[in-house]
Amino acid sequence: MDRTPVAAAVVVYDGRLLLIRRRVAENLLSWQLPAGKVESGEAPGDAAAREALEEAGVGVAAVFLLGERVHPDTGRPMSYWACRLLGGQARVASPREVAEIAWVDRQGLARLVPGGLFGPVQAWLDETLWS
């Protein structure tokens, strides 16, 4: 099993969270945060920002770490980064990997990710975005 660390971008704009739907689901994961493997020598926050651009066409800056864990479905070490939107129009930027993107509110997140997000990410969204 691949144990390469993965970094995820938590991008919010206008009261909504950016999600992508993978072309091929990873286990039970279909809709998820833009994320991907951290390349050799790359800082995890930089990897999260790179993945947001590569997958969803948006420029972001990683601002702070929301949490880390070993993902229960993939077994990969994960880090989750709160990101500030810098620019770009959200779109499917990597059709080989991504089927669609969506900006979702709290109800949209509950519909697309019924099990919810990683606890610290969900708590941050609840406290800062949807309070």
At residue 25, the pLDDT reads 75
At residue 74, the pLDDT reads 83
At residue 101, the pLDDT reads 97
List, for residues 55-74, the tens digit of each pLDDT value. Answer: 999 999 999 999 999 988 88
Return the number of other C-beta atoms located less than 10 Å from residue 73's C-beta. 10
Domain residue extents for the chain? 6-124
Scanning the chain, the segments in alpha helix (DSSP H) are 44-56, 106-112, 119-124
Q: Is residue 28's pLDDT more than 80?
A: no
At residue 29, the pLDDT reads 66
6-124 topology per CATH: Nucleoside Triphosphate Pyrophosphohydrolase (3.90.79)
Q: What is the mean pLDDT of the segment spanning 114-123?
A: 94
Contact in structure between 83 and 129 (CB atoms under 8 Å): no
Confidence of residue 24 (pLDDT cuts 50, 70, 90): confident
In whole angstroms, give the CA distance from residue 9 to residue 101.
Answer: 14
Taking the chain, what is the end-to-end CA distance rounded to the nearest angstrom? Answer: 39
pTM for this one?
Answer: 0.94
The residue behind tokens 């601002």 is: 63
Contact in structure between 10 and 124 (CB atoms under 8 Å): yes
SS3 label, residue 91: coil
DSSP string, 7-38: EEEEEEETTEEEEEEEEEEETTEEEE-SEEEP
At residue 124, the pLDDT reads 97
